[in-house]
Structure 1
Amino acid sequence: MTEEPDAPTAVEETLMRGVRRVAGVADSLVHHPVPNSARAFVNAFIGDRLDTSGSALSHGMGVRVRGRVVDLTDDGVAQAYPDASGEVVVLVHGLLLTETAWDAGRFGERLKEELGFTPVAVRYNTGLRISRNGHELQRLLTALVAHWPVPVTRLVLVGHSMGGLVIHSALAQAEVEAAGGSDWVSRVSDTVTLGAPHLGASLERGVNQAARVAGALRQVRPLARALGIRSVGIQDLRHGNILEQEWHGLDPTDHRGRRVDVPLHPGIRHLAVVGLLGKKIDGRVARLFGDGMVTAASARGSGRRGPEGRRFAQEDVVVLPGVSHIALVHDPTVYAAVRDRLAARVDP
């Protein structure tokens, strides 16, 4: 069941009007960083409202090549990927970003050059529920595999930040929505999450608490309203929600949450890449700040109160000191860790 967001406030309406002036030309400048970055920012904070209102500013879930949506048909996919291989890596960006986030480090291109993967970049509305984006991603992957020009022999899913949660949401929902499992799931050999808040993001918890406190004080209620302009997608990051059962029926400002123990999908290798601002994973900086956005414990699913099934095995965690949250998509040490993992194939 999909919840309906509240009607836009005056502040939100003003923000939307301003961004339309910048982002309204995005369809003609499909790969220009300015309009696309503006749209990504707005989608992150009020994307749920944009979707409900049918706004053209809302990013639909889709595969993109040079900024344009790929038609997931036999002809559309063949034209977009004329040299497609049977090994495919799907890249899913995080909050506030689009698929262009992967360009700086040539993430997909290097995996193609060095390991033979065909990179597929996805864009989506990060303001929507993670469970909804997971549902849409599993539908996208079903169509992608069905229409891929050659048989898909290996599928790898890489997600940065929120994108990592969307990937695991898609895997969790695929088994339920397609009786016996979706065909694409059987092709997945690996998932890789880069700084994904598997146990939630402390920054969102802090903002939520600040908004609750400010709302109780008449003098600073305008601040509470400003802090309240956060999409349901951002609110999902508070606890790392990936299923509807984890949020449906709860107060959106609830600081406790309701976590469902969703095990990491069996039969697939799962790698968690953890960035650190400090030098040691057990140091004070790592415990408090992690990569600047997500704590080390959350990125590897090892919190004391976290679901046991989401805990990554020690050998499936790569810790990279000195790598910030945003740098996870382009830092060369991150790419090297992912490349080495994918190059070390495990026979079934």
Structure 2
Amino acid sequence: MSDAPAPAPGPDADDEAATPEPTTVERALTRGVERVAGVADDLVHHRGPNGARAFVNAFFGDRLDVAGSALSHTMGVRRRGRSVPLTREGFETAYPEATGDVVVLVHGLLVTETFWEQGRFGQRLREDLGLTPVTVRYNTGLRISHNGHDLDRILARLVEHWPVPVTRLVLVGHSMGGLVLHSALAQADVEGPGSAWVGLVSDTVTLGSPHVGAPLERLANTTARAAGTLRHVRPLARFLSSRSVGIQDLRHGNILDAEWDGADPADRVGRRVDVPLHPGIRHLAVVGLLGKKIDSRIAQLLGDGIVTAASARGAGRRAPRGRQFPAEDVVVLPGVSHLGLVRDESVYAAIRDRLGARVDP
């Protein structure tokens, strides 16, 4: 179960922010998936169970967390399919050739850390730039702000117990993972001793992250509201309404508790807090386009097939001014889909070129 603290309760927090108890169907689904996927740690690295766990976490992860299910992924560092204890001994055993420069890779919705194996970005950054790759796994059905809090905690432990002094941290996130890493930066207590990691971050890289929200989630929200008024399709409305709070956070790109705590779950506008991109850090937004022409309005609207080009760069009328990426910190890559962002050669080249460039002190 996640150890992220619950947000401060408001007047109606118990009614508006609490996660509903699992239904009979959801409990049955949980039992069924547990039988198929297994719960032993030594089975997690197999692709079949891994995919099943990732899918169930995405849609029911908040309920699984409340129920204390073994299928609920507690955020943690993982290597070669196994959990890495956040201790000096744990890191020394898992990373015997650790360097002082570390790149932390944060996956997105519906997948786990093994998704990064497709493009071998972590391994290639080790070979090309000497960055030691560290991957995390987390419950994507939980609030993005809760996962951001947990990432803050994990990075603090990593810096404290890494086998050699950490001299540079790079944070790379795909899709939801990009929101999680920016949430961690936004929530870190820069005055506290546990957040010394923030001062070591030289760069963040987000790959197709919906900084201004995801159209598919907004469509799901609208469909659920409309279907709820029609008797014959109310089961569809109930199904759509049962999607996890993690998925619902993607509607507006929420990264802070204040953006959802006490808000109407069906709100179509959102309550955005203008938290600037963390100062003193270089931030790169990689934008994929299904189309081949960068200046095509249709290509910009379709984006990478999941996230619009405007949202991936933090632009548009919905965007808080402080979260918009300057033009020089945006790379637009035609012909790259949302899933292709973790394996396309042009994406890796953009990451390598940015991280290999001189970092001003």
Fold shared, TM-score > 0.5 on shorter chain: yes
Find 1:103's aligned residue among 117, 133, 136.
Answer: 117
1:142 is matched by which residue type in structure 2?
A
Q: Could you tell me how far apart the structure 1 residues matched to 2:42 and 2:33 are?
A: 16
Report the CA distance shift for 1:27/1:77 in structure 2 as closer, same or farther (over 3 A). same
Taking the aligned partners of 2:346 and 2:226, their CA distance within structure 1 comes to 41
Aligned twin of 2:159: 145
1:41 partner amino acid: F
Per-residue deviation at 1:280?
2.9
Task: Report the Cα offset of residue 24 of structure 1.
Answer: 1.7
- Where 1:182 maps in the other structure, the secondary structure is helix
Aligned to 1:322: 335
Who is 2:232 aligned against?
219
Closer, same or farther in 2 for the Cα pair 1:25/1:172, shift >3 Å? closer
- Give the letter for the 2:80 counterpart: R
Alignment of 1:246-257 (within 5 A): 246-257=259-270
Aligned-residue offset at 1:25: 4.5
Q: What is the deviation of 1:99? A: 0.4
Task: Find runs of 4+ consecutive structure 1 residues off by over 4 angstroms.
Answer: none
For residue 156 of structure 1, the aligned residue among 166, 170, 174 is: 170
Task: Check whether the contact 1:276–1:323 (CA below 8 A) recurs between aligned residues.
Answer: yes
Q: Are 1:131 and 2:165 matched, yes or no?
A: no
Q: Is the 8 A contact 1:195 1:274 kept in 2?
A: yes
Aligned to 1:5: 19
d(CA) in 2 for partners of 1:231 and 1:225?
12
2:188 corresponds to which residue? 174
Q: Select the residue among 271, 291, 315 that pairs with 1:302.
A: 315
Could you tell which deviates more after superposition, 272-281 or 105-114? Answer: 272-281
Q: Distance in 2 between matches of 1:30 and 1:340?
A: 34
TM-score norm. by structure 1 comes to 0.97
Root-mean-square deviation over aligned CA pairs: 1.4
Query: How far is the alpha carbon of 1:29 from its aligned partner?
Result: 1.5
User: Deviations along 1:25-58, whole A, 9 cap, x unmatched?
Assistant: 5523121010011000000001000001100000
Identity of aligned residues (%): 73
SS of residue in 2 equivalent to 1:270: strand
- The Cα of 1:23 is off from its aligned counterpart by 1.4
State the alpha-carbon separation in 1 of the partners of residues 194 and 73 from structure 2. 28
Q: Distance in 2 between matches of 1:10 and 1:331?
A: 42
Which moved further from structure 2: 179-188 or 329-338? Answer: 179-188
Q: 2:252 aligns with which of 239, 260, 264?
A: 239
Unaligned runs of 5+ in 2: 1-5, 8-16
Letter in 1 for 2:280: G
Deviations, residues 184-211 of structure 1 (Å, cap 9, x unaligned): 0000000000000000001100010000
Q: Which residue of 1 aligns with 2:130?
A: 116
CA-CA distance at 1:11 after TM superposition:
3.7
Decide whether the 8 Å contact of 1:274 with 1:299 is kept in 2: yes
Measured in 1, the distance between the counterparts of 2:162 and 2:49 equals 30
Match of 1:50 in 2: 64
Question: Higher mean Cα deviation, 179-188 or 299-308?
Answer: 179-188
**Correspondence 1:272 to 2:285:** yes
Alignment pair present for 1:230 and 2:260:
no
- How far apart, in 2, do the equivalents of 1:251 and 1:305 lie? 18
Matched with 1:293 is 306
Q: Compare 285-294 and 264-273 and name the one that shifted more.
A: 285-294
Structure 1 unaligned blocks of 5 or more: none
Counterpart for residue 28 of structure 1 = 42
1:288 to partner: Cα distance: 2.6
Distance 2:40 2:253 in 1: 31
> Any idea what SS the aligned residue of 1:253 has?
coil
The aligned residue for residue 313 of structure 1 is 326
Range 164-173 or range 287-296, more displaced? 287-296
Aligned to 2:32: 18
Match of residue 14 from structure 2: none
Distance in 2, Cα, partners of 1:99 & 1:46: 19
The separation in 2 between residues aligned to 1:14 and 1:292, in whole angstroms, is 33
Paired residues of 1:277 and 1:285 also in contact (CA < 8 A): no
1:89 aligns with 2:103: yes
Q: Secondary structure at the match of 1:240?
A: coil
Number of residue-to-residue matches in the alignment: 347
Shift of 1:180: 8.1
Match for residue 54 of structure 2? 40
Seen in structure 2, the aligned counterparts of structure 1 residues 257 and 58 have a Cα distance that, compared at 3 Å, is: same
Within the alignment, does 1:183 sit opposite 2:207 as a pair? no
How far apart in 2 are the matches of 1:75 and 1:314?
Answer: 43
Alpha-carbon deviation of 1:80? 0.7
Contact 2:39 2:70 in 1 (8 A): no
